[in-house]
Amino acid sequence: MHRRPRSLYVTRIERWVRDPYAIYALWVLGLEAMERPGASAEALARGNAVHAAIERLTLDWPDDLPDDCEAILHDHLLRELGARGFEDAAMAREAPLARNCARWLTDFERRRRARGIDILVEQQGTMTFDAPAGPFTVKAFADRIELASDGAAVMDFKTGAAPSAKQVKSGFAPQLTLTAAILADGGFERTNGPVTPDELTYVRVVGRKTAGEVITRASGAEAADLAQAALEGLKRRVARFDDPNTPYVSWAAPQFMGNQGGNYDHLARVWEWSVIGDGEDSE
């Protein structure tokens, strides 16, 4: 009982919602997942490079952007990719994508800043609430918070696919909603108190034919309502799992697990049980 988690980042909570067994394996059994042999790290490295380039631009130019913003962003992207081990052959492929990303991001930044906002990047926030087994703390790293006079946008930058509206609103993708709940509770130090979330947005940056996309999953009062609903859902989940009789089942939401599944599926014997299940259903 004492090894059940008392603190999780919102990304871990998303995994908990979809695949509780993964949290059990990591937190209760203490099993760290190992990289699979031959697994490519390029996608993760590219995502980290994009995040770092945008963060650097925002920190260097928090207000008005320079006239050569596109060139600066392009240089930042190439530098960050190189720092993450992309060699000449890979860089030949990445350079045109970086150029498209820089062009799209420059337009994106100018449009967002025209609204008269204050931008916070890579901010950590926390919120603690009471639960049956003791206090529980939820934590988040917000890629970006845009503060306006009457609320704030909570944003996550992605180089892969963004969660669907159904996943966000049903609670199976709670990263933005729980981050917004922390914001509403005053859990981000630099906001100087509670701020009402009025926009939940993913920013997808890929550099291909469609170089980027702004995907708003909620705005206005709906954003605040979804944040509150996500927090209430988390409190119910923590209370349920504080009961030692509650099992950490595998693949609680298989429709959202993707083709690759999870890192602990072999321990949970997901494949064997799925085969047995198929056999029973066919009789």
pTM summary value: 0.87
Which residue, of 113, 145, 169, is where some domain finishes? 113
128 class by beta-carbon count within 10 Å (0-12 exposed, 13-18 middle, 19+ buried): middle
135, 128 in Cβ contact below 8 A? yes
124 with 54, same domain? no
Which residue, of 113, 142, 165, is where some domain finishes? 113
186 with 77, same domain? no
User: What is d(CA 234, CA 225) in angstroms, rounded to the nearest whole number?
Assistant: 14
User: What is d(CA 248, CA 268) in angstroms, rounded to the nearest whole number?
Assistant: 10
Tell me what pLDDT residue 132 has: 95
Tell me what pLDDT residue 250 has: 74
The amino acid at residue 241 is F
53 with 155, same domain? no
Residue of 172, 167, 170, 168 whose CA lies nearest to 197: 168
87 with 154, same domain? no
203, 215 in Cβ contact below 8 A? yes
90, part of any domain: yes
Q: How many domains does the chain have?
A: 2
User: What is d(CA 10, CA 141) in angstroms, rounded to the nearest whole number?
Assistant: 8
Tell me what pLDDT residue 266 has: 47
185, part of any domain: yes
User: What is d(CA 146, CA 245) in angstroms, rounded to the nearest whole number?
Assistant: 42
Tell me what pLDDT residue 279 has: 43
pLDDT in single tens digits along all 283 residues of the chain: 567 899 999 999 998 998 888 888 887 777 776 665 544 568 889 999 999 999 999 999 998 999 999 999 999 999 999 999 898 898 999 999 999 999 999 999 999 999 899 999 999 999 999 999 999 999 999 999 999 988 999 999 999 999 999 999 999 999 999 999 999 999 999 999 999 999 999 999 999 999 999 999 999 999 999 999 999 999 999 999 999 999 888 755 555 545 444 554 545 444 444 434 444 443 3
82 class by beta-carbon count within 10 Å (0-12 exposed, 13-18 middle, 19+ buried): middle
Length reported for the chain? 283
User: Phi then psi for 107, rounded to 5 degrees?
Assistant: -65, -40
User: What is d(CA 246, CA 230) in angstroms, rounded to the nearest whole number?
Assistant: 21
95 with 160, same domain? no
Tell me what pLDDT residue 232 has: 98
207, part of any domain: yes
Q: What is the CATH number of the domain that holds 233?
A: 3.90.320.10
Q: Which two tokens stand for residue 187?
A: 């859990």
207, 98 in Cβ contact below 8 A? yes
144 with 227, same domain? yes
Range of the domain at 179: 118-239
273, part of any domain: no
122 with 232, same domain? yes
215 with 164, same domain? yes
101 with 146, same domain? no
Tell me what pLDDT residue 117 has: 93
Tell me what pLDDT residue 25 has: 84
User: Phi then psi for 8, rounded to 5 degrees?
Assistant: -145, 145
103 with 132, same domain? no
